[in-house]
């Protein structure tokens, strides 16, 4: 019996190692597939139209070639749930969730959403994709309703959820790429100065190492979706072009943590965005309203191509940005 048990343990360990290696091997094999249809709908950010709720957070529904993905889950437990109902979005048909990083304003709705939709379909919102480092030991969040990453992991898994950790670019659907943690090459410090990670050697600065984005390869160029962009918008766009497809960036959408950026830094950012070919920009959440307008001026965009994102705002391939009433 001991031999059988030991043999079984070895087999399980080998299979686990093989599974991880296989997932990583996908990171260096760009398929070259371009998507045919793409629609992005904002479900959580500060501005909101009609009966929708605004908050300091971010979430978006990604629909691409028949596949659906929930990008981040907002801050408060029920905001995305309420906004989805207001907008007529059925979350129970979504299997995959993407979390850009560990902050509560992007993970706060995960448990409530999983609990609500799993009764309709046990596989709904069952797989959540995260970057390596998201479960590092950190101080608990300050908001009373917010979970620590470890607490979130424990409770989500108790509801049948599975976390998939990425360390490299990974093609989730044909033409739809998870970047994994984005390397910091350009001088962008887009994260709080007081964050700490606890290690065996003591506390170290929390640079949000798990920060990742979603990249969609289209025939017009790359579409990059960011939750907070703690790795930096330019680092992210540069990495997407180098790792996924070296073509212009057609659109950058989401939160980019430029709310406190100086005009000099925004001008530098705009110059790099122009070099990358960015022609559509929808800045939401921590991008800040004034920085969006400043970038729009520097990039010589107009009210149809450079806008502030609001709940219900959409980007659709072939149609561009539909910003909603409040942010026109």
pTM here?
A: 0.91
Instruction: Encode pLDDT of 34-81 as tens digits.
Output: 999 999 999 999 999 889 999 999 999 999 999 999 999 999 999 999
d(CA 21, CA 60): 30
d(CA 315, CA 298): 22
185, pLDDT greater than 50? yes
Helices and strands: H and E segment counts in the chain = 8, 17
The residue to which tokens 């424990």 are assigned: 154
Instruction: Tell me the residue ranges of DSSP E strands in the chain.
Output: 38-44, 59-64, 67-71, 96-98, 127-131, 162-166, 170-173, 176-178, 196-199, 202-205, 214-218, 221-226, 249-255, 280-284, 306-308, 314-316, 320-322
- Sheet with 38-44: list strands edge to edge: 162-166, 127-131, 96-98, 67-71, 59-64, 38-44, 314-316, 320-322
Segment 214-231 shows an average pLDDT of 98
The token duo for 186 is 């350009």
Which residues are CB-contacts of 9 (< 8 A; sequence separation ≥ 6)?
none
Q: Please count the CA atoms within 13 angstroms of the CA of 160 that sit on its side-chain side.
A: 13
Q: Quick one: pLDDT band at residue 27, thresholds 50, 70, 90?
A: very low
Rounded to the nearest integer, the mean pLDDT of the chain is 91
Between 3.40.50.410, 3.60.15.10, 3.40.640.10, 3.40.50.280, what CATH number should domain 37-322 receive? 3.60.15.10
Instruction: Encode pLDDT of 267-312 as tens digits.
Output: 999 999 999 999 999 999 999 999 999 999 999 999 999 999 999 9
Residue 200 has what pLDDT?
81
Q: Quick one: pLDDT band at residue 30, thresholds 50, 70, 90?
A: low
């Amino acid at each position: 019996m001991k031999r059988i048990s030991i043999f079984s343990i070895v087999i399980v360990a080998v299979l686990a190692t093989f599974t991880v290696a296989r997932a990583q091997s996908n990171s260096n094999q760009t398929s070259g597939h371009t998507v045919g249809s793409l629609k992005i709908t904002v479900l959580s950010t500060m501005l909101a139209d009609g009966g929708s709720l605004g908050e300091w957070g971010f979430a978006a529904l990604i629909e691409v070639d028949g596949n659906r993905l929930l990008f981040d889950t907002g801050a408060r437990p029920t905001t995305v749930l309420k906004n989805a109902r207001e907008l007529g979005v059925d979350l129970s048909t979504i299997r995959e969730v993407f979390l850009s990083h560990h902050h509560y304003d992007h993970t706060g709705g995960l448990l409530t959403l999983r609990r609500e939709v799993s009764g309709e379909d046990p596989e709904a919102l069952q797989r959540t994709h995260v970057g390596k480092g998201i479960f590092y030991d950190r101080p608990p969040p300050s908001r009373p309703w917010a979970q620590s990453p470890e607490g979130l992991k424990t409770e989500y898994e108790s509801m049948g959820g599975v976390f998939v950790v990425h360390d490299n670019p990974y093609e989730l659907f044909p033409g739809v790429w998870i970047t994994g943690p984005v390397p910091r090459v350009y001088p962008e410090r887009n994260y709080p100065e007081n964050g700490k990670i606890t290690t065996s050697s003591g506390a170290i600065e929390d640079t949000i190492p798990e920060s990742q984005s979603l990249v969609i390869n289209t025939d017009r160029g790359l579409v990059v979706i960011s939750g907070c962009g703690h790795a930096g918008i330019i680092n992210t766009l540069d990495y997407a072009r180098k790792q996924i497809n070296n073509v212009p960036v057609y659109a950058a959408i989401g939160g980019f943590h430029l709310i406190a950026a100086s005009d000099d830094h925004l001008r530098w950012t705009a110059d790099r965005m122009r070099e990358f070919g960015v022609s559509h920009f929808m800045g939401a959440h921590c991008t800040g309203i004034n920085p969006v307008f400043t970038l729009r001026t520097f990039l010589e965009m107009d009210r149809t191509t450079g806008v502030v994102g609001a709940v219900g705002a959409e980007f659709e391939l072939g149609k561009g940005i539909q910003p909603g009433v409040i942010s026109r």
